[in-house]
Protein backbone atom coordinates (compact mmCIF):
# COMPACT_ATOMS: atom_id res chain seq x y z
CA UNK A 1 0.00 0.00 0.00
CA UNK A 2 1.45 3.28 -1.05
CA UNK A 3 1.28 6.43 1.16
CA UNK A 4 -0.67 9.29 -0.41
CA UNK A 5 1.60 12.04 -1.69
CA UNK A 6 1.26 15.34 0.24
CA UNK A 7 -0.75 18.07 -1.47
CA UNK A 8 1.38 20.97 -2.74
CA UNK A 9 1.57 23.75 -0.14
CA UNK A 10 1.90 26.71 -2.52
CA UNK A 11 -1.49 26.33 -4.28
CA UNK A 12 -3.26 26.03 -0.92
CA UNK A 13 -1.48 29.13 0.38
CA UNK A 14 -2.39 31.12 -2.71
CA UNK A 15 -6.03 30.03 -2.39
CA UNK A 16 -6.11 31.11 1.25
CA UNK A 17 -4.61 34.51 0.42
CA UNK A 18 -7.09 35.00 -2.41
CA UNK A 19 -10.03 34.25 -0.11
CA UNK A 20 -8.71 36.67 2.51
CA UNK A 21 -8.25 39.39 -0.10
CA UNK A 22 -11.77 38.87 -1.41
CA UNK A 23 -13.17 39.14 2.10
CA UNK A 24 -11.23 42.35 2.76
CA UNK A 25 -12.39 43.86 -0.53
CA UNK A 26 -15.98 43.11 0.38
CA UNK A 27 -15.59 44.91 3.69
CA UNK A 28 -13.93 47.95 2.10
CA UNK A 29 -16.56 48.16 -0.61
CA UNK A 30 -19.55 48.06 1.73
CA UNK A 31 -21.52 51.27 1.08
CA UNK A 32 -21.42 53.87 3.84
CA UNK A 33 -18.56 52.43 5.84
CA UNK A 34 -15.13 53.94 6.38
CA UNK A 35 -12.00 53.03 8.25
CA UNK A 36 -11.95 53.29 12.03
CA UNK A 37 -10.67 56.56 13.45
CA UNK A 38 -9.17 57.41 16.82
CA UNK A 39 -11.62 60.27 17.36
CA UNK A 40 -14.94 59.32 15.79
CA UNK A 41 -15.96 56.81 13.15
CA UNK A 42 -19.00 57.23 10.93
CA UNK A 43 -20.77 53.93 10.17
CA UNK A 44 -23.19 55.02 7.45
CA UNK A 45 -23.41 57.31 4.47
CA UNK A 46 -25.25 60.53 5.32
CA UNK A 47 -27.38 62.65 3.03
CA UNK A 48 -30.24 65.12 3.17
CA UNK A 49 -33.04 63.85 5.41
CA UNK A 50 -30.76 61.99 7.82
CA UNK A 51 -30.67 62.86 11.51
CA UNK A 52 -28.79 61.77 14.59
CA UNK A 53 -25.60 62.16 16.56
CA UNK A 54 -23.48 61.22 13.54
CA UNK A 55 -25.01 64.15 11.63
CA UNK A 56 -24.11 66.45 14.54
CA UNK A 57 -20.51 65.23 14.41
CA UNK A 58 -20.40 65.90 10.68
CA UNK A 59 -21.89 69.38 11.08
CA UNK A 60 -19.22 70.35 13.60
CA UNK A 61 -16.54 69.52 11.03
CA UNK A 62 -18.13 71.23 8.03
CA UNK A 63 -19.48 74.28 9.90
CA UNK A 64 -16.59 76.32 8.52
CA UNK A 65 -18.00 75.97 5.01
CA UNK A 66 -21.45 77.63 5.16
CA UNK A 67 -20.79 80.24 2.48
CA UNK A 68 -20.56 84.02 2.80
CA UNK A 69 -22.38 85.24 5.92
CA UNK A 70 -23.81 81.82 6.66
CA UNK A 71 -23.86 80.01 10.00
CA UNK A 72 -24.57 76.29 9.98
CA UNK A 73 -26.84 75.10 12.80
CA UNK A 74 -25.37 72.18 14.75
CA UNK A 75 -28.69 70.43 15.27
CA UNK A 76 -28.26 66.86 14.08
CA UNK A 77 -30.60 67.39 11.12
CA UNK A 78 -29.18 66.99 7.60
CA UNK A 79 -31.07 69.68 5.75
CA UNK A 80 -30.31 71.88 2.73
CA UNK A 81 -27.80 74.03 4.66
CA UNK A 82 -25.82 70.96 5.72
CA UNK A 83 -25.92 69.61 2.18
CA UNK A 84 -24.55 72.93 0.89
CA UNK A 85 -21.82 72.99 3.54
CA UNK A 86 -20.79 69.43 2.69
CA UNK A 87 -20.61 70.38 -0.99
CA UNK A 88 -18.33 73.33 -0.17
CA UNK A 89 -16.17 71.12 2.03
CA UNK A 90 -15.91 68.56 -0.77
CA UNK A 91 -15.02 71.24 -3.32
CA UNK A 92 -12.42 72.76 -1.00
CA UNK A 93 -10.62 69.42 -0.72
CA UNK A 94 -10.96 68.24 -4.30
CA UNK A 95 -13.71 65.67 -3.75
CA UNK A 96 -16.79 65.02 -5.86
CA UNK A 97 -19.20 67.71 -4.65
CA UNK A 98 -22.48 65.82 -4.40
CA UNK A 99 -23.46 66.90 -0.89
CA UNK A 100 -23.50 63.29 0.30
CA UNK A 101 -21.15 62.38 3.13
CA UNK A 102 -19.70 58.96 2.40
CA UNK A 103 -16.34 57.18 2.72
CA UNK A 104 -14.41 59.77 0.66
CA UNK A 105 -15.73 62.68 2.71
CA UNK A 106 -15.21 60.89 6.01
CA UNK A 107 -11.75 59.81 4.90
CA UNK A 108 -10.77 63.44 4.34
CA UNK A 109 -12.16 64.38 7.76
CA UNK A 110 -10.11 61.57 9.34
CA UNK A 111 -7.01 63.04 7.70
CA UNK A 112 -7.86 66.45 9.14
CA UNK A 113 -8.44 65.46 12.76
CA UNK A 114 -6.36 64.26 15.66
CA UNK A 115 -7.46 61.54 18.07
CA UNK A 116 -8.91 64.14 20.46
CA UNK A 117 -11.18 65.38 17.64
CA UNK A 118 -9.37 68.69 17.18
CA UNK A 119 -8.33 69.61 13.65
CA UNK A 120 -4.68 68.85 12.95
CA UNK A 121 -3.55 72.48 12.86
CA UNK A 122 -5.14 73.60 16.15
CA UNK A 123 -5.25 72.30 19.71
CA UNK A 124 -7.19 72.73 22.94
CA UNK A 125 -4.09 74.23 24.55
CA UNK A 126 -3.90 76.82 21.79
CA UNK A 127 -7.50 77.86 22.46
CA UNK A 128 -7.00 78.10 26.23
CA UNK A 129 -3.99 79.80 27.74
CA UNK A 130 -6.02 80.70 30.83
CA UNK A 131 -6.26 77.39 32.71
CA UNK A 132 -6.34 73.66 32.10
CA UNK A 133 -9.85 72.99 33.38
CA UNK A 134 -11.99 75.26 31.15
CA UNK A 135 -13.81 76.29 34.32
CA UNK A 136 -14.68 79.74 35.65
CA UNK A 137 -16.27 81.22 32.56
CA UNK A 138 -19.86 82.09 31.70
CA UNK A 139 -20.74 78.46 30.87
CA UNK A 140 -19.77 75.05 32.20
CA UNK A 141 -16.30 73.74 31.47
CA UNK A 142 -17.79 71.06 29.19
CA UNK A 143 -19.69 73.63 27.14
CA UNK A 144 -16.72 75.99 26.91
CA UNK A 145 -14.50 73.19 25.62
CA UNK A 146 -17.14 72.05 23.12
CA UNK A 147 -17.51 75.63 21.88
CA UNK A 148 -13.75 75.86 21.42
CA UNK A 149 -13.78 72.68 19.33
CA UNK A 150 -16.35 74.23 16.99
CA UNK A 151 -14.21 77.34 16.73
CA UNK A 152 -11.18 75.27 15.80
CA UNK A 153 -12.97 73.54 12.94
CA UNK A 154 -14.05 76.91 11.57
CA UNK A 155 -10.47 78.13 11.88
CA UNK A 156 -9.29 75.02 10.03
CA UNK A 157 -11.60 75.95 7.15
CA UNK A 158 -10.33 79.53 7.25
CA UNK A 159 -6.73 78.31 7.25
CA UNK A 160 -7.32 76.05 4.27
CA UNK A 161 -9.04 78.83 2.32
CA UNK A 162 -6.00 81.03 2.91
CA UNK A 163 -3.60 78.54 1.35
CA UNK A 164 -2.94 76.33 4.38
CA UNK A 165 -0.58 78.85 5.91
CA UNK A 166 -0.48 79.11 9.72
CA UNK A 167 -3.00 81.15 11.70
CA UNK A 168 -1.80 82.45 15.06
CA UNK A 169 -4.32 82.34 17.92
CA UNK A 170 -3.43 84.86 20.62
CA UNK A 171 -6.42 84.36 22.94
CA UNK A 172 -9.24 81.86 23.29
CA UNK A 173 -11.22 80.79 26.35
CA UNK A 174 -11.03 83.00 29.43
CA UNK A 175 -12.37 82.50 32.93
CA UNK A 176 -13.84 85.59 34.59
CA UNK A 177 -10.52 86.03 36.41
CA UNK A 178 -8.49 85.80 33.21
CA UNK A 179 -10.87 88.10 31.38
CA UNK A 180 -10.69 90.72 34.13
CA UNK A 181 -6.91 90.51 34.15
CA UNK A 182 -6.68 91.51 30.49
CA UNK A 183 -9.42 94.12 30.69
CA UNK A 184 -11.93 92.15 28.64
CA UNK A 185 -15.56 93.22 28.35
CA UNK A 186 -17.90 91.78 30.97
CA UNK A 187 -19.92 90.15 28.19
CA UNK A 188 -16.89 88.92 26.23
CA UNK A 189 -17.49 85.86 24.10
CA UNK A 190 -14.16 84.56 25.39
CA UNK A 191 -16.04 83.69 28.59
CA UNK A 192 -18.09 81.21 26.55
CA UNK A 193 -15.11 79.55 24.89
CA UNK A 194 -16.43 80.32 21.42
CA UNK A 195 -14.12 83.21 20.53
CA UNK A 196 -10.59 83.47 19.22
CA UNK A 197 -8.28 86.43 18.74
CA UNK A 198 -5.99 86.08 15.74
CA UNK A 199 -2.64 87.78 15.36
CA UNK A 200 -0.97 88.83 12.16
CA UNK A 201 1.42 86.42 10.47
CA UNK A 202 1.42 85.16 6.89
CA UNK A 203 -1.84 87.09 6.52
CA UNK A 204 -2.70 90.61 7.58
CA UNK A 205 -5.35 91.22 10.20
CA UNK A 206 -7.63 92.63 7.51
CA UNK A 207 -7.17 89.57 5.32
CA UNK A 208 -8.18 87.36 8.24
CA UNK A 209 -11.24 89.48 9.00
CA UNK A 210 -12.34 89.59 5.38
CA UNK A 211 -11.99 85.85 4.80
CA UNK A 212 -13.65 84.98 8.12
CA UNK A 213 -16.95 86.19 6.66
CA UNK A 214 -17.09 82.93 4.67
CA UNK A 215 -16.51 80.56 7.58
CA UNK A 216 -19.45 80.72 9.96
CA UNK A 217 -18.49 83.50 12.36
CA UNK A 218 -21.31 85.81 13.45
CA UNK A 219 -18.86 88.02 15.33
CA UNK A 220 -15.91 89.58 13.49
CA UNK A 221 -14.04 92.54 14.98
CA UNK A 222 -10.81 93.88 13.59
CA UNK A 223 -8.72 96.95 12.77
CA UNK A 224 -10.81 100.07 13.00
CA UNK A 225 -13.00 98.72 15.80
CA UNK A 226 -12.00 100.12 19.23
CA UNK A 227 -9.35 97.99 20.90
CA UNK A 228 -8.84 95.70 17.91
CA UNK A 229 -6.10 97.31 15.86
CA UNK A 230 -3.63 94.62 16.95
CA UNK A 231 -5.78 91.53 16.36
CA UNK A 232 -8.83 90.15 14.59
CA UNK A 233 -11.51 88.69 16.80
CA UNK A 234 -13.99 85.98 15.68
CA UNK A 235 -16.83 84.41 17.66
CA UNK A 236 -20.18 82.58 17.56
CA UNK A 237 -22.54 85.19 19.03
CA UNK A 238 -26.24 84.69 18.27
CA UNK A 239 -26.58 87.46 15.70
CA UNK A 240 -24.23 89.03 13.22
CA UNK A 241 -21.95 91.86 14.28
CA UNK A 242 -19.06 92.57 11.93
CA UNK A 243 -16.92 95.66 12.40
CA UNK A 244 -13.46 96.26 11.03
CA UNK A 245 -13.75 99.63 9.35
CA UNK A 246 -10.08 99.79 8.39
CA UNK A 247 -10.68 96.60 6.39
CA UNK A 248 -13.86 97.69 4.66
CA UNK A 249 -16.06 95.65 6.99
**Nearest 10 degrees: CA dihedral of 13, 15, 20, 26?**
170
- Bridge-based pairing of strands 168-171 and 196-199 is antiparallel
Alpha carbon of 188 to those of 144, 176, 195, 239, 242: distances in Å? Answer: 13, 10, 9, 14, 15
Cα angle at 74 between 124 and 129, to 5 degrees?
15
Task: Spot the catalytic one: 160, 228, 231, 233.
Answer: 228
Give, as one character, the DSSP assignment of residue 68: T
Catalytic status, residue 228: yes
**With contact defined as beta carbons under 8 Å apart, do 209 and 229 qualify?**
no
CA 204 – CA 207 distance, rounded (Å): 5
Known catalytic residues?
228
Amino acid sequence: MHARAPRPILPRLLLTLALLAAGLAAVVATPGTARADGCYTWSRTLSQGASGADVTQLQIRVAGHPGYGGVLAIDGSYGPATTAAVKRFQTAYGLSADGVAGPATFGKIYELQDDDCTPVHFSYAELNNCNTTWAGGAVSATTAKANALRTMWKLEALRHALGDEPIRVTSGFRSHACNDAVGGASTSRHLYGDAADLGSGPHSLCRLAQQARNHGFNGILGPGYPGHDDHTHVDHRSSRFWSASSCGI
